[in-house]
Structure 1
Amino acid sequence: MLEELELHDLGPIRAARLVPAAGMTAITGETGAGKSMLLSALKLISGAGADAGRVRPGSACAWAQGVFAVAGDHAAVALAEDAGSPVEDGELFLSRRVPAARAGSKSGRSRAVLGGKTVPRSVLEHVARELVTIHGQADQLRIASPVRQREFLDDYAGNGDLKRQYAADWSAYMAVEDKLTRLTTQQAQMRQQADYLRDSIAQIDRVDPHDGELEELKERRDRIENAAQVSEAVVHALALLDSSSVPSMDNGSDAPDATGCVAGAIGALEAAHVPGVFDGALAALADVQSALSEVSFALSGKIDDELGAGDLDMLNGRIHELNELCLRWGPELSDVIRWRDQAAFDVEDLDASPEKLADLEEQRDRRYAAALKTAKRLSRSRAKAAAALSATVTGELGELAMPGASLDIAVSERRGSAPLDGTGADDVEFLFTPFPSSPKLPMGKSASGGELSRLMLALELASAETAVGRAGHAASSGDAARPVPPMTFIFDEIDAGVGGKAAVELGRRLARLARSAQVIVVTHLAQVASWADAQYVVTKTTASGDDSHAAGRRSDDSVTLPATETTVQAVDGDDRVREIARMLSGTESSTSRKHARELLASSTLEHAA
C-alpha cells in the first residue's frame, strides 16, 4: 500500500506530498492544472523512462519518492532483499532523481534508489510491479499482450500451484529432450569425443598414478644418485666406530676403533681388581659401548638400503611416464587423477549407443506424458475461469456506460506435433466487442482509451473480489483493522465519455475495488470523486508583479520564467463540499453545495446496498 507520495520540482509542482487513504483516493482539479504530474511521479518511482523536460524550469533536478507499507511475505520484499535493500519496519522506500537538461549538453542519468541504496532502474521497475498497477491510456496497452492476458487469467483462476507443477514437469521433459537432441544431432562429433576420453582414461589407467607418487620417486632418485657419497661417508664413520661391522674393509691401520677403545678401557679398569672403586665409571662406559653398537648397526643398515634401492633406469622410466601424464592432463599429478575421474562421468553423457538412445527416448516420452497431463489440468482450469471472468466483466460493462459491450476470453488448445511450450498447451486471447453488431476484436485494437480503462476496471474488480473470496474473508471499507492492501491501482482518464448514472456506477465500482486494494483515481467527475475516502485537489496559480518576477527567476538571476505554480492540497469537510460543488456545476452556489453534500452522503457502499 502506498503510504506517502512526495515530489519536488516536477513540472509545475514545486513541492507536494500526498498521504493516500488505504481505500480510495481521488485526485481532482481543473483541466491543465497538473494532475498528470502526480501520475508522472508514480511512473518515475515505478521505473519508467525519465524525461528531463519534466523538470521544473529553473530547478537542478526533479525528485519523487514513494513509501509503501508491505507485509513480510510480500513478493516485493524478496525482490528488495535480493537487490541488497532489506525492508525495515514494514516500509519500502522507492525514489527517483531526474537531472535537468542543460544548454549545450545532454542531461545526466536519472538515479533510482531502493531502500536508501542506488539500484539499476530495472530493479526499481521489478519491485514496483509488485506494488503498483497503473491504468492510463498508454498503460492499458500492456494487457493487449497475449502473455499478460494469460498471466491475468491464471491469477484470476488461482493457478499458481498448477503452474509451478507444470513448470517442473516441463523442465524435466526439456532436460531429457535437450540431451537426446544433442546425442542424435551430434553423434559423430560426440563419438569422437567419447573415443578420445576412453583412450585417455586407458592411458592413465595403464600408468596407474597415485597422488604424491612423483614427488616420492624424485626424492628416492636423488638418494640413489648420491649413493656413492653416502656409502663413503657411512663406511668411514663405521671404520672409526666399529670396523668389525664392515668386514670387507681393510683400513690398512692397526689403530683401534672407538668400540675397541671403549672395550680396552673397560678391560683396564676391571683388571685392577679393586671392588667398588670403578663401578660408576664401568657403568658409564657400558652405556657408551651400547650406544656405539646401536649407531654402528643403524649405519650398517643404511648402506644396505641405499645400495639395494633398485634399478635407477627403472626408476627414471617410471618418472618419465608420470611426467608425460602431467604434460597432457596436468600440470600436477593430482590434476591428472581428477581429470580421469571427471572424464569417466563425461563418457556416460556422450554415450550415443542405441541402448542409451532408446533409454533416453523412453524417459522423454514418460516425462512428456506427465507434462501433458498437467497441461490439460491447467487448460481445464483456464477454460472454466475464462467463462466466469467473461460473464462477470460483461455484466459490469453494462453498468459502466458501455451497454451491449462484452468481453470474450478464448482459451484454445494448440494442435499439431508440438502443442506444449513453457506456459502449457493453450493460447489465451481477450476479445472485446464494443457494441452488439461489432465483430470480436483483440483487446487494445477495438476499444478507445476511456473504454479500455473501464474494461480494465471491470477486470481488476473481478480479479480482486475473486482473490478476496479465495482468502475466505471480505474486507470492510470502514474496518480500521483490515490487512494492508496487497496492490495499489492507479486509474487515469477512466471516466472519459462517462456521465450521469454511469458515472455513479463507475465510482461505486472503484469503491468496491478499494475494499480489497488501494485505489487512486485521477478524475474530473464529482460522481466518481464523491466515493473516495480521501480527496486531493490540484490547483494552478499564477503570481503577479514583483512576486511573479521573483518566483520565476532562475537561481543565476539570468532568465525570468513564467511564475506558474501548481499546488496539491488535501480537502475535507466544507473544503471538500466546495470542490465537489465546483466539479458538479463550475460554481460554489448554495444549490451546488447542497447537491454536493447529498452526493457525498449517498456515495457509500452501505447506502448503495
Structure 2
Amino acid sequence: MLREIRIQNLGVIDDAVLELSEGLNVVSGETGAGKTMVVSGLGLLLGDRADAGRVRDGASQAVVEGFVDIPTDHPAAVRAAEAGGDVEDGLILVRSVSRQGRSRAHVGGRSAPVGVLAELGELLVAVHGQADQWRLRRPEQHRVVLDRFAGESVGGPLRRYTELYAELQDVRAEVQRLRELERDRARQVDVLRTGLEEIEAVDPQPGEDDDLRRESERLAHADGLRVAAGEAHLLVMGGDDALAAADEAGGSVADLLGRARAALAPVVGHDPQLAELDRRLQETTYAVTDVGGDLAAYQADLDVDPARLAWVGERRAALGGLLRKYGESVAEVLAWGEDAAKRLTELEGVDDRLDELQQRWAVVRAELAAVGTELSAARTEAAGRFAERVGDELAHLAMGNSRIEVAVRQHDDPDSDQALETADGRRLRCGPSGLDDVEILLAAGSGSPPRGVAKAASGGELSRLMLALELVTASGDVPTFVFDEVDAGVGGAAALEVGSRLAALARTSQVVVVTHLAQVAAFADRHLVVSKTDDGHVTASGVAPVEGEDRVRELARMLGGVADSAAALEHARELLQDSVGPKA
C-alpha cells in the first residue's frame, strides 16, 4: 500500500507531499492546480517514460519518491530484494529526470534500472486514466482478466494444459536435437569408434604416464646411479674397497659411531646427561644401519635391462600418441574415452529414441487438444457471466447503454505441423495458455457495433470501464488502484454511483482518485486538496488533507465554485451524510 508520495519540480509542483491512507483517497483542487501532476508523478515512479519537458522551469531535475508499505514476502518486495534493495521496513522508490532527459531510478536505497520500477509497478499499482498505458491495451491481458474472473473453472484445466504444453515443447526440442545429430551421425560415429579403438589397443592405466616417465629416467641413468649408491654405501657401512676419504676418517660412518659409543661405555652410568647422548648415538647407529641396507638393496635393483628400457620407451611413445589426440594426461584420455562411449551409445540409439519421442509426441498432442478444448469451453461459459457482471457495473457508472461482449476465438491453422487437431476435426493454433484468443469488446451505444475497448471507449469511459472490471475481478493481487478522470462526463446521481463503486473497491484495496466531482469526493476515507500559490506553483504546503468544516467547504467549492455559499455548504453536508464514507 502506498503510504506517501513526494513530488519535486514536476510541472507546476515545486515540492508536495501526499500522505495516503487505507481505503479511498480522493485528490481534488481547482483547475490547473496540479492534480494531474500527481498521477504523472506516480507514473514516473512506476517506470513510465521520462519527459524532460515536465521538469519545472528553473529546476535542474524533477524527483518523485514513494514509500510503499508491503510485507517482505510480497512479490514486489521479493523483486526489489533481488535488485539489491532494502525492504525490511517497507520499500522506498525514487525516480529522477534531469532537464537534459537523463533518468535515474533507486529501489530500496540502491540504484536500479528503470525497468525494475516498471516491474514493481505492475505488482503494486494499477493506474487507469485517459493518458496512461492501460494494461488492457495488450491483447494477452484480456485473457488474463477473464481467467482471473473465472477462477478454478478455468484455473484447473489451464494448469493441466500448461503442464502438457511444456512437455510438448521439451519433446519438440529433443526431437530437433536428435535430428541435428542424425545429419552428421555417420561421421561422428566413425570418429568416436576410431578413438575408442585406439585407446582400447593401448589400454592406458591411470597414472601410467607418470610411472613410466620416472622408470625411464631411472633406467637411462642406471650406471651413474649404481656408482653413486655404491660410494654412499661404502662410506656408511665400510668394506674392503672403502674410499680413501673413509680410511682417512678412520673407517665407515657405522664404525665411527661404534667407536664413539665404546668410548662412552665405561663412564656412561655416572652422568644422566652423558647417558642421554649415548642413547642418541645408539638411535643414530640404527638409522645409519637402515640407510646402509637400503643403499645396498637399491644398488642390487639397478641391473641394467636394455630390453626393459626399450619397452618403456615404446610404451611411452604409444601413450604419447594418445595424449596428442585425446588429452594432456592419461586421466584426460580415459575421461575422453568415457564421454565418447556415452556419445556413441546415444548416436547409435538415435533411431530408437526418435521412435519413442514420436509416439510420446502423438500422445501429448492428443491430450493437449482434449484439455485445450475443455479450457476453451470453460472460458466461453465464463465469458457470458463476465460480460453480464461487467454490464451490471457499467449501468451504475453512467454507461447503461454500453454493452460488453467477450469474444473467445480459436484460429484454424491447417498447414502447420504444430497445430492441434480437436475431436471435431479442426486443426487449431495453440499457444502456452490455450487455443484461444480472448478480446473484451465494448458497444458504446445501443446501435453501436462492439469494438475493442481501447478504441471504443473515451478517456472517462475507459476509466469507468476499468473500475467495473476491477470490481468484478478484484482479487487483492494489486494492493493499490489509481483512477484519473473516472468521473469525466458524468454528474448528479451517476456521479454518486461512481463514488459508491469506488468506495466498494476501496473496501478490499487502496484506491486513489483524482476528481473534480463532490459526489465522488464525499465517499473518501481521506480527502487531499491541491492548491497553488499566487505565482501558480504548488509548494510544500500545497497538498493538505481536509477534515470537518474544511472538507465541507471544499465539497461546496466543488459543487458550485464558491466555498462559502450557504446552499453549497448545505448540499455538501447532505452529500457527506448520504455517503457510505466517513462522516464529516
* Structure 1 pair 354–119 and aligned structure 2 pair: CA distance change class (3 A): same
Residue 184 (structure 1) aligned with residue 176 (structure 2): no
- Picking from 380, 385, 396, the partner of 1:383 is 380
- The alignment status of 1:136 with 2:133, answered yes or no, reads no
Give secondary structure in 1 for the equivalent of 2:96.
strand
Question: 2:12 matched to 1:27?
Answer: no
Shift of 1:496: 1.6
Residue 298 (structure 1) aligned with residue 291 (structure 2): no
Does residue 44 (structure 1) correspond to residue 40 (structure 2)? The answer is no
* 1:12-31 Cα shifts (integer Å, max 9, x gaps): 11111111221111111222
| Residues 348/533 of structure 1: CA separation in 2 closer, same or farther (3 Å cut) | farther
Q: 1:162 to 1:120 in 2, by over 3 A?
A: farther
For 1:206-254, what per-residue CA distance to the aligned partner results, in whole angstroms no more than 9, with x for missing partners?
Answer: 333344332222112111111110122334556675769xxxx999xxx
Q: What RMSD over aligned residues (CA atoms) do the two structures have, in Å?
A: 3.6
Find 2:436's aligned residue among 423, 426, 430. 426
In 2, are the aligned partners of 1:191 and 1:352 still within 8 Å (CA)? Answer: no
Match of 2:569 among 590, 593, 598: 593
Superposed counterparts of 1:124-163, under 5 Å: 124-139=117-132, 141-158=134-151, 163=158
Partner of 2:447: 437
Checking the alignment, whether the CA contact within 8 Å between 2:26 and 2:528 is kept in structure 1 is: yes
Asked if 1 retains the 8 angstrom alpha-carbon contact of 2:525 and 2:581, the reply is no
Describe how 1:264-343 pairs up with structure 2 within 5 A: 297-307=293-303, 311-343=308-340
Give the distance between the partners of 2:285 and 2:481, measured in 1 at CA.
Answer: 103
**Whole-angstrom CA distance in 1 between matches of 2:287 and 2:575:** 119
Residue 528 (str. 1) matches residue 520 (str. 2) = yes
TM-score by length of 1: 0.80
5+ residue gaps in structure 1? 101-106, 270-275, 469-484, 544-562
Q: Does 1:364 align with 2:361?
A: yes
Alpha-carbon distance in 2 for matches of 1:486, 1:503? 25
In structure 1, the partner of 2:491 is: 499
Paired position in structure 2 for 1:581: 556
Quickly say closer, same or farther: Cα 1:352–1:413, change in 2 above 3 A: farther
Is the partner of 2:302 in helix, strand or coil? helix
User: Does the 8 A contact of 2:129 with 2:462 survive in 1?
Assistant: no
Alignment-derived partner of residue 221 in structure 2: 226
Check the 8 A contact 1:169/1:367 in 2, yes or no.
yes
* 1:535 counterpart SS class: strand
Aligned to 1:273: none
Question: What are the Cα deviations for residues 472-500 of structure 1, in whole angstroms up to 9, with x where unaligned?
Answer: xxxxxxxxxxxxx9521111111121122
For residues 40-85 of structure 1, what are the alpha-carbon distances to aligned partners after superposition, in whole Å with 9 as ceiling and x for unaligned? 1101110111112211111222111111111233111111111111
CA shift at 1:146, angstroms? 1.6
CA deviations on 1:355-388 (whole Å, 9 max, x unpaired) are 2210221233344445445544543443343222
Aligned to 1:509: 501
Paired residue secondary structure (1:412): strand
| 1:73 alignment partner, SS class | coil
Per the alignment, residue 547 of structure 2 pairs with 572
Cα distance, 1:317–1:537 mapped onto 2, change above 3 Å: same
Is 1:397 matched with 2:397?
no
- Do the aligned partners of 2:127 and 2:134 also contact (CA within 8 Å) in 1? no
Q: Report the Cα distance in structure 1 between the residues aligned to 2:106 and 2:135, rounded to whole angstroms.
A: 25
Q: 1:437 to 1:205 in 2, by over 3 A?
A: farther
Query: Does the 8 Å CA contact 2:556/2:571 hold for their aligned counterparts?
Result: yes
- What is the alpha-carbon distance in structure 2 between the residues aligned to residue 377 and residue 316 of structure 1? 75
Distance 1:74 1:250 in 2: 90
| Alpha-carbon offset, residue 319 of structure 1 | 2.1
Contact 1:535 1:572 in 2 (8 A): yes
Map of 1:550 onto structure 2: none
CA contact 1:24–1:514 (8 Å) conserved in 2: yes
Change (3 A) 1:377 1:288: same
| Mapped partners of 1:445, 1:184: distance in 2 | 47
Secondary structure of 1:139's counterpart equals coil
| Structure-2 residue corresponding to 1:99 | 98
SS of the equivalent of 1:50 reads coil
Give the AA of the match of 2:223: A
Q: Measure, in 2, the Cα distance between the counterparts of 1:348 and 1:127.
A: 49
Match of 2:109 among 92, 99, 116: 116
CA distance in 2, matches of 1:2, 1:291: 85
1:171 is aligned to 166
Q: Which amino acid aligns with 2:451?
A: L
Among all aligned residue pairs of Structure 1 and Structure 2, give the percentage whose two residues are the same amino acid: 39
More displaced 10-residue stretch of structure 1: 52-61 or 331-340: 331-340
Q: Which moved more, 1:291-300 or 1:108-117?
A: 291-300
Cα deviations by residue, 1:422-464 (Å, 9 ceiling, x for unpaired): 2222221112111222222222122222221111110011111
Unaligned runs of 5+ in 2: 270-279, 414-418, 421-428
Give the Å deviation of 1:135.
0.5
- Residue 347 (structure 1) shift: 4.0
Aligned pair in 2 of structure 1 residues 116, 361: CA closer, same or farther (>3 Å)? same
The amino acid of 1:453's aligned partner reads: S
Secondary structure at the counterpart of residue 404 of structure 1: coil
Distance in 2 separating the partners of 1:337 and 1:168: 41
User: Judging changes above 3 Å, is the alpha-carbon distance between structure 1 residues 348 and 65 closer, same or farther for their aligned structure 2 residues?
Assistant: farther
Which residue number corresponds to residue 472 of structure 1? none
Q: Is the 8 A contact 1:405 1:436 kept in 2?
A: yes
Q: Is the 8 A contact 1:28 1:523 kept in 2?
A: yes
The match for 2:481 among 469, 485, 489 is 489
Look up the SS of the partner of 1:307 in the other structure.
coil
